[in-house]
Amino acid sequence: MSFGRTNPLSRRTLLRGMFQGSALAIGLPWLEGMFPAFAGTGAVRQPPLRFGTWFWGCGVTPGRWSPTLGEAGFALQPESLPLESIKEHLNFLTGFDAILDGRPNHVHVSGTFSLRSGIAPLKFGVIEGGTFETAIADRLGVGTRFKSLDFTATGNPADTYSYRSAQVRNTPETSARALYDRIFAAGLRKPGEGEFKPDPKTLSRISVLSAVSEQRKALEANLGAEDRRRLDQYFTSVREVEQQLELQTEEPVIPEACQMPERPGEHDANYDLANVHENHKLMAKLLALAMACDQTRNFNVVFSNSASSLHRSGEASSHHLYTHEEFTDPDVGYQIETSKFVIENMKGWAAFVQALADVPEGDGTLLDNCLVFAHSDTSWAKIHAVQGIPMMTAGRAGGRIKTGQVVTANGDPITRVGLTMQQIAGVPIERWGTRSMETDNSVTQILA
């Protein structure tokens, strides 16, 4: 059947264009797949919400990453210091645990999938359910050209943590050129050349709402003055929503920021740190552009893999090997090389967030309309601890969330975070997770 916001393809006009000899169907931006359920009303078309994940491997060093709360907000620690320039866009989520209930701690796996699927895997390598960001992609990605654009900066297509179901995992792009070709090879249609037909459903909605408004007189008849004012306020609110719907029936304008990029050259794609940074930077830019042009509203980025294989050129020891092999320096009390790799991962995160913040959109930036969820596979990689796995969000999700918060949970199930992400994105879900990790409690501290 065709009713429901899960299938609004009908209202999306596809522009057929020719570029470099091949046909390209490209969707226009700003047509909301669902009603924008967020603050900031008025007669301005709201950019859509985008959601994505950003993953890094091997966690952080205890005591060197979690921001401390001070009088003037929070203070970053040595390993989170690379985030200084973007910290106004971030929330830190600490103290949430994967609770295993006697199930094994499969190293570098139990944490990630407790967090993403809400189920601590019993068997190594056997994921017992889909991961939550696919549910969000189902919600937000309807009608965009790509339901989700995923890439890994490591060159290894096996580095993905996004599972549509227990068996099906999403394969990421591994090079900037491949990502470019997928999105832009056939070119980008300039605005103003398409024919626009407003979505009949939106038009119907508007007529239903005006019919609702017409009941006003009859309702007012028996009310006292005070109640009439309340009813009046109510209909003002209805009018605001009507105006938003009306905006959706107007021809959209492709924003300035949606520009055809240059085709990137070939780059080495592997676990070499310098290559990872370079590839990640190129692909982050392409992804940001793809979102500016509303080609996708969902993404999954892997900066470094679970059990991070990042290594510096000429060195055989990877980040992961350092976590186990490197001694704890008695003078400073932590693993020095391991900590350097954490800092490299955080530099990658800062670069990613900046890439989204560099794209103007509406009165702000693309980042303002994103909810990016970053996390790792463990907290303290040395022993694969799954208590207090480090997590962050970036972006204000179109005004749905606050930023600058440091949430410290007291061993609450880590699924509270996945539940919250889904709810912010409008997935109709009240409870999530299994066994000790089943929860219906979202992390309200970050909600706007």
Partner 1 sequence: MRKSLLITVAFGAAVCATACGNSETSEPVKASASEPVEATLVSSVNQDSKTIGLAFSYFWYDNLETPDDCPEGYAYALRDLAILGLPEEKQKYLLQPENRSTYYKMGYALSGKRMREHNGTSICNIPDAYDDPPLRTVQSNLANGRDLDGKASSGDDVGSCGAADFTAPDGRSGIDNQLYRVMGCIDSYRRDAEFAGGAMEDYHVGAYRDGEITTLMEIRDVDNRMNDDYVEVGVYSSHEPTPYDSEKKGIGHASLTVTDNTLWHNETTGRIENGVLITEPFDLRLKFGWTGRPAEYYVKDTQIHLNLAEDGTAEGDLVGYFDLQYAYWHSFHDEQGALQVANGYTCPAVWDALHKYADGYPDPETGKCTAISTAMKLDAVPAFVIHPPKEELVKYVLDTRDYYGVELEDIAVEGAELREPKGAGGPPAAAKSRKNPETSESKEE
Partner 2 sequence: MSVIRNSILAGVAVAAIGAGIYFVPGLLNGQSGPKVTGPPPPPQMRRMTESQYRNSVADIFSPEIKVVGRFEPDIRVDGLAAVGASEASISGNGYEQYYAMAGRIAEQVVSDENWAKYMPCDVPAPATYDAACAEQIISEYGEKIFRRDMKDVTLAEWLQISELAMEKLGNFHAATGLVLEGMLSSPEFLFIMDTVTEGEDGSLELTGHAKAARISYFLWNTAPDEELLRAASAGELDTKDGLEAQVDRMLNSEHVRTGMNAFFEDFLHLDAFATLEKDKLIYPAFNQRVSEDGREQVLRFLDYHLLDKAGPYTDIFTAKETFVTRPLGMIYEVPVRAVEGWEKVEFTEDDPRGGLLSHIAFSALHAHPGRSSATLRGIAVRELLLCQSVAPAPAAVNFTVVQDTSNPEFKTARARLTQHRTDDACASCHEFIDPIGLAMENFDGVGRLRYEENGAVIDVSGAFDGYEFDNVDGLEETLADHPATTSCLVEKMQKYATGRKPQASDIQWINRLEKKFSRSDEKIIPLLREIALSDEFFAVSAPQVPVPDVNQQEAATQTREKKS
* Residue 124, contacted partner among partner 1, partner 2, none, CB below 5-8 A by kind: partner 1
383 lines the binding site for partner 2 (CB under 8 A): no
**In which region does residue 388 sit, left (phi positive, over 0), alpha (psi from -120 to 50) or beta (all else)?**
left
* Residue 193, contacted partner among partner 2, partner 1, none, CB below 5-8 A by kind: none
Among 156, 270, 354, 408, binds partner 2 (CB under 8 A): 408
Closest residue by Cα to residue 337 from 329, 29, 15, 352: 329
User: 314 or 428, CB closer to partner 2?
Assistant: 428
Site size toward partner 2 (CB under 8 A) is: 67
Query: DSSP assignment of 375-438, as one string?
Result: E-S-SBGGGT--BT--EEEES-GGGTB--S-EEEEEEEETHHHHHHHHHHTT---S-B-SGGG-
Give the side-chain half-sphere CA count within 13 A for 433. Answer: 28
Pairing mode, if any, of strands 298-302 and 149-152? parallel
Q: 23 forms bridges with which residues in the sheet? A: 18
Q: 257 forms bridges with which residues in the sheet? A: none
Q: Whole-number minimum distance, CB 120 to partner 2, in Å?
A: 17
User: 167 or 222, CB closer to partner 2?
Assistant: 222
b/e code 88-108 from CB counts within 10 Å (16+ = b) = ebbbbbbbbbbbbeebebbbb
Query: Which residues of this protein are in contact with partner 1, per CB under 8 A?
Result: 95, 97-109, 121-125, 307, 309, 311, 315-318, 320-321, 324-328, 382-388, 408-411, 436
Question: Segment contacting partner 2 (CB under 8 A): 120-128, 321-329, 370-378, 422-430?
Answer: 422-430
Among 18, 44, 208, 260, binds partner 2 (CB under 8 A): 208
225 lines the binding site for partner 2 (CB under 8 A): yes
**Interatomic CA distance for residues 51 and 257, integer angstroms:** 19
Among 182, 201, 277, 281, binds partner 2 (CB under 8 A): 201
Among 232, 268, 315, 325, binds partner 2 (CB under 8 A): 232
Which uninterrupted H or E stretch holds 90?
Answer: strand 90-97
* Residue 227, contacted partner among partner 2, partner 1, none, CB below 5-8 A by kind: partner 2
Closest residue by Cα to residue 105 from 316, 379, 346: 379
Q: Whole-number minimum distance, CB 245 to partner 2, in Å?
A: 9
Among 18, 104, 234, 383, binds partner 2 (CB under 8 A): 234
User: 5 or 103, CB closer to partner 1?
Assistant: 103
Pairing mode, if any, of strands 90-97 and 406-413? parallel
43 lines the binding site for partner 2 (CB under 8 A): no
Which uninterrupted H or E stretch holds 288?
Answer: helix 273-292
205 lines the binding site for partner 2 (CB under 8 A): yes
Q: Spell out the residues 6+ positions from residue 437 whose beta carbon is closer than 8 angstroms to its own.
A: 98, 99, 114, 118, 119, 120, 413, 414, 415
Q: Whole-number minimum distance, CB 169 to partner 1, in Å?
A: 13
Contact 349, 363 (CB under 8 A): no
Question: Segment contacting partner 2 (CB under 8 A): 182-190, 250-258, 382-390, 421-429?
Answer: 421-429
User: 247 or 307, CB closer to partner 1?
Assistant: 307
107 lines the binding site for partner 2 (CB under 8 A): no
Among 9, 18, 25, 39, binds partner 2 (CB under 8 A): 39
User: 240 or 256, CB closer to partner 2?
Assistant: 240
68 lines the binding site for partner 2 (CB under 8 A): no
62 lines the binding site for partner 2 (CB under 8 A): no
Determine the residue type at 258.
C
Coil vs helix vs strand at 56: coil
Residues contributing to the site for partner 2 (CB under 8 A) = 1-6, 34-39, 41, 95, 200-201, 203-205, 207-209, 211-212, 214-217, 219-238, 240-241, 244, 408-412, 416, 423, 426-430, 439, 441, 444, 447
